[in-house]
Amino acid sequence: MRYRYISLDDSVSTCCIFVARVIADGKVTVPKRVRDVLRIEKGDYVRVTITEVIKKKQTQQKARAKRRK
């Protein structure tokens, strides 16, 4: 899902919503396709809003429940 918005300095940005996994040292990877669309380069800053945290155990339980059906 992509959104376009205009920031205070009149630059136009595109926003993408995606799910990412946190790795051992706390880093989150922005998928390559999203980096390409938004033209994110090494050293750029991105604004992150966390709207939901999906715990690993929750996803595993949901997968097991689906297999049981």
Q: DSSP string of the chain?
A: -EEEEE-TTS-EEEEE-----B-TTS-BPPPHHHHHHHT--TT------------HHHHHHHHHHHHH-
Domain of residue 18, residue span: 2-68
Per-residue pLDDT band at 7 (split at 50, 70, 90) = low
Percent of the chain at pLDDT > 70 equals 68
pLDDT over 60 at 16, yes or no: yes
Is the pTM above the cut of 0.75? no
Number of domains in the chain: 1
pLDDT at 42: 92
Per-residue pLDDT band at 1 (split at 50, 70, 90) = very low
Per-residue pLDDT band at 6 (split at 50, 70, 90) = very low
